[in-house]
A and B are shown apart, each in its own frame.
Chain A
Amino acid sequence: MNSVVKMLLKRIGTSLVVLIGVSMLIFTIARVIPGDPARIALGPNASIEQIDKLRERLHLNDNIITQYGYFIKDLSNGNLGISLYTNRPVTTDIAQFLPATLELVIFAGFFMVAFGIPLGIIAAKYKDKWQDHSVRILALLTVSAPSFVWAVILMLLFAFFLPLFPVAGRIDDQLLLPDNITGFLTVDALIDGNFTVFVNAIWHILLPAFALSLSGIGQAARLTRANMVETYKKPYIEMAQAFGFSAKRIATKYAFKPSLIPSLTIIGLDFAAMLGNAFLVEAVFAWPGLSRYGVQVILRKDLNAIVGTVLVISAMFLVVNIIVDLLITYINPRIRLAKGQ
Chain B
Amino acid sequence: MNNPLLKITNLELGFNTFQGEHKILHGLNIHIKAGERVALVGESGSGKSVTARIILGMFDELTSANFSGDILFNEQRLDLMTKAQKHSLRGKEISMIFQDPTSSLNPTFKIGQQFYEVLRTANPKIKKQAANKIAIDWLHKVAITDADRVLNSYAFQLSGGMNQRVMIAMALVNKPSLLLADEPGTALDVTVQAQTLNLMRELVTQENTAVLFISHNLGVVREFADRVYIIYKGRIVEQGKTHDIFDNPQHPYTQALMAAVPRITGGGIPEIDDTSERYYDPIFIHKGGEEIGDPV
Contact = CB atoms under 8 A, between A and B. Distances in A.
Interface of A: 234-236, 238-247, 249, 254, 257-258, 261, 331-334, 337
Interface of A is mostly: helix
B108 A239 contact: no
A21 to B, nearest CB: 35
Nearest to A332: B108
A334 B91 contact: no
Interface in B75-115: 87-92, 95-96, 98-100, 103-109
A244 B156 CA distance: 23
B58 A238 contact: yes
Given A254-B117, A334-B154, A337-B154, A243 B105 contact: no
A157 to B, nearest CB: 38
A338 B88 CA distance: 38
Interface residues of B, number: 29
A242 B156 contact: no
B105 A239 contact: yes
Listed residue (A246, A247, A257, A333) with the most chain B CB atoms within 10 angstroms of its CB:
A333
A239 B118 CA distance: 11
Contacts of A244: 87-92, 121
Interface string B155-179: 0110000000001001100000000
B98 A257 contact: no
Contact of B104 (A239, A245, A254, A334): A239
B56 interface: yes
Nearest to B154: A333
A204 B92 CA distance: 53
A242 B87 CA distance: 8
A333 B107 contact: yes
Contacts of B103: 234-236
Contact of B96 (A243, A254, A333, A337): A243
A242 B117 contact: no
B154 A258 contact: no
Given A241-B90, A244-B87, A244-B89, A261 B98 contact: no
Contact of A257 (B88, B109, B170): B109
Contacts of B154: 333-334, 337
